[in-house]
Amino acid sequence: MTDSRLNPKALIIGAPRSGSGKTSVTIGLLRAFARRGIRVRGVKSGPDYIDPGFHQAATGLEGLNLDSWAMEPDLVAHLLGQAADDTDLLLIESAMGLFDGIDGGAGRTGSAADLARLLDIPVLLVLDVSGQSQTAAAVAVGFKHYDAKVRTKGIIINRAGSERHIRLSRTAIEAAGMPVVGAVLRSDALALPERHLGLVQASEHGGIQDYIDRLADVMETSVDLDAVLALAQPVSLRRGDAAAAIPPPGQRIAIASDAAFTFLYPHLGAHWRAQGAELVPFSPLNDEGPALDCDICWLPGGYPELHAGKLSAANRFRNRIRHFAQMKPVHGECGGFMVLGTGLVDADGVRHVMTALLSHSTSFAKRKMNLGYRQVRLLADGPLGSGGDVLRGHEFHYASVTDPGRDDPFAEIADGTGQPLGLSGGRRGHVSGTFFHAIARTTF
């Protein structure tokens, strides 16, 4: 069944690999279409926290993650339907390469290609042609024929070195039967600043609006926007449901929100508000604590390792959250989990006292990347659900646990293919935490 209202158009922006420039292209296209008065919304395929912030900065509309591995198809359809409200155009940015994912079963790999098949959305391919010219046509043809259910409809040539380079690449690609709708010259001015977890967030980027305007200027002069719009097709909005969504953990949710605590998936906050919950922000970096009339305190992920000294000196925050935890639940994800421990060692090897609501310690001094999809089974009732519930999500951090502490484990954890990884996180009294970022529940 589909909605009776006029469906918006949608287009997936993909690439053969990470680092092809699709984020810059996507942000520039979002702003360029918004300038035209088109109600355009950005969507990110996969468990990326940072790109949705740039999408929102470019359009004024809240971003969204759609993840075919972590979200059941009905939840994907439900979230897409919500994102389509009052929207003319949805630009869905792929993570990594278009077909990259894990062995999660048919249609559940986490790749943007899954979304293309499930939602029947065409693909605009961003091809980084640096170091090649005519060979780019072979890549384009490969994408065209690799999977008949993933319809690559057009190409944007990116990072070309000259007009001659563009001409050689364009001629070969078009001779192979693929339309080229734009060609962008290489420019260091278009690069986004990065740090250890990826791009610097939009909220931290000084002059973000000027930067996005520069990207849009390039798209307007280098890309045929009418041709891109013509590639997008009305998306079929079948009715899904929110059964697999994570319910609000309380009616009033005190949520840490500042430069140290930023990683809350947009779909979680939106769903909680839709269910009648109120999110009450506070800033630990400003030495604020959770409002005592809230039902739960939530510490999302972020960059506490960059602000460890200031967090350690925030005595009012630490005292307030300890008092809150005597009466009501406190939960921390990733960076929030680190702050719930006894101490955090920063990149310089300096140890900073944290809240000690849990007994573990973490360190950022010796960086080791932990990255991948995760599935957890909760070991007790708590903010994410009841004991025995299974959730899917993601883990991405460089910090290590140097002392596991003496708390009860929060969950049993497995990787995205179901291989057991042991126990995760800790819980003591009303307090719980884990490096695991929850995305959705499982219902089957």
Burial, 297: exposed, middle or buried (Cβ in 10 Å; 0-12, 13-18, 19+)?
buried
Cβ proximity of 402 and 341 under 8 Å: no
Q: Which of 115, 260, 325, 334 is catalytic?
A: 334
Q: Which residue has the tokens 């930067």?
A: 211
In whole angstroms, what is the distance from residue 167 CA to residue 291 CA? Answer: 61
- Indicate if 297 belongs to the active site: no
Report, as residue numbers or ranges, the catalytic residues.
334
